[in-house]
Structure 1
Amino acid sequence: MDVAAIDRGKADLAGHSGSDDLMVGMKSVRVWGTLGWHDIRQRYRRSVIGPFWFTLSTAIMVVVLGALYSTLLHQDVKDYLPYLAVGLVVWGYLSSVANEGCNAFIGAAYLIKQLRIPLTIHVCRIVWRNFVILLHSFPVVVVLLIAFGHWPTLEFLLVPIGLFTLLLHGVWVGVTLGVLCARFRDIPPIVTNLIQVVFFFTPVMWSPEILKDRAWVAEYNPLYHLIETVRAPITGRPIHWESWAWSIGLLIVGFAFSQYLMRRARNRVPYWL
Structure 2
Amino acid sequence: MVELVSTNRTGDDVAAHTPVDDLLVGLKATRIWGTLGWHDIRQRYRRSIIGPFWFTLSTAIMVIVLGALYSTLLHQEISNYLPYLAVGLVVWQYLGSMANEGCMSFIGSAYLIKQIRIPLTVHVCRIAWRNFVILLHSLPVIIVLMVSFGKWPTVEMLLVPIGLALLFLHGVWLGVALGVLCARFRDIPPIVTNLVQVVFFFTPVMWSPEILKNRAWVAEYNPLYHLIETIRAPLTGRPIYWESWAWSVGLLVVGFAFAQYLMRKYRDRVPYWL
Shorter chain as normaliser: what TM range? over 0.9
Deviations 1:53-83 (A, max 9, x none): 0000000000000000000000000000000
Aligned equivalents of 1:20, 1:256: Cα separation in 2: 12
Q: Which residue of 1 aligns with 2:127?
A: 126
Which residue does 1:70 correspond to in 2?
Answer: 71
What's the counterpart of residue 248 of structure 2? Answer: 247
Contact 1:5 1:35 in 2 (8 A): no
In structure 1, distance between residues paired with 2:189 and 2:157: 36
For the 8 Å contact 1:12–1:27, the answer to whether it is kept is no
Indicate if the aligned counterparts of 2:124 and 2:175 stay in contact, CA closer than 8 A: yes
Give the Cα–Cα distance (whole angstroms) in 1 for the partners of residues 245 and 163 of structure 2. 9
Matches within 5 A, 1:47-196: 47-196=48-197
> What SS class does the counterpart of residue 41 from structure 2 fall into?
helix
What residue is the counterpart of 1:38 in the other structure?
A: 39
Whether the aligned pair in 1 keeps the contact of 2:203 and 2:222 (CA below 8 Å) is yes
SS at 2:150 equivalent:
coil
- Count of matched residue positions in the alignment of Structure 1 and Structure 2: 272
**What are the Cα deviations for residues 233-269 of structure 1, in whole angstroms up to 9, with x where unaligned?**
0000001111001000000000001000000001000
What SS does the corresponding residue of 2:88 show, helix, strand or coil?
Answer: helix
In structure 2, what is the Cα distance between the partners aligned to 1:126 and 1:257?
19
Summarize deviations over 1:160-219 as a string: whole Å, max 9, x none.
000000011011000000000000000000000000000000000000000000000000
Residue 30 of structure 2: aligned partner? 29
Deviates more, 1:86-95 or 1:11-20: 11-20
- Is the 2:5–2:15 Cα contact (8 Å) retained in structure 1? no
| Residue 215 (structure 1) aligns with | 216
Tell me the CA shift for residue 124 of structure 1. Answer: 0.2
Cα 1:30–1:12 shift into 2, 3 Å: farther
What's the TM-score, normalizing by structure 2? Answer: 0.98
- 1:12, 1:28 within 8 Å by CA — same for their partners in 2? no
Matching residue of 2:229: 228
CA–CA separation in structure 2 for the residues paired with 1:64 and 1:12: 49
Which residue does 1:18 correspond to in 2? 19
Residue type of the alignment partner of 1:182: A
- Mapped to 2, the partners of 1:175 and 1:111 lie a distance apart of 16
Q: Is the 8 A contact 2:15 2:119 kept in 1?
A: no
Task: Find the counterpart in structure 2 of residue 8 from structure 1.
Answer: 7
Q: How high is the TM-score relative to the length of structure 1?
A: 0.98
For structure 2, list consecutive stretches of 5 or more residues without a partner in the other structure.
none
RMSD: 0.9
2:241 & 2:116 partners in 1: Cα distance?
45
Task: Tell me by how many angstroms 1:4 deviates.
Answer: 4.0
1:199 aligns with 2:200: yes
Instruction: Provide the C-alpha distance between the structure 2 equivalents of 1:7 and 1:80, rounded to a whole number of angstroms.
Output: 50
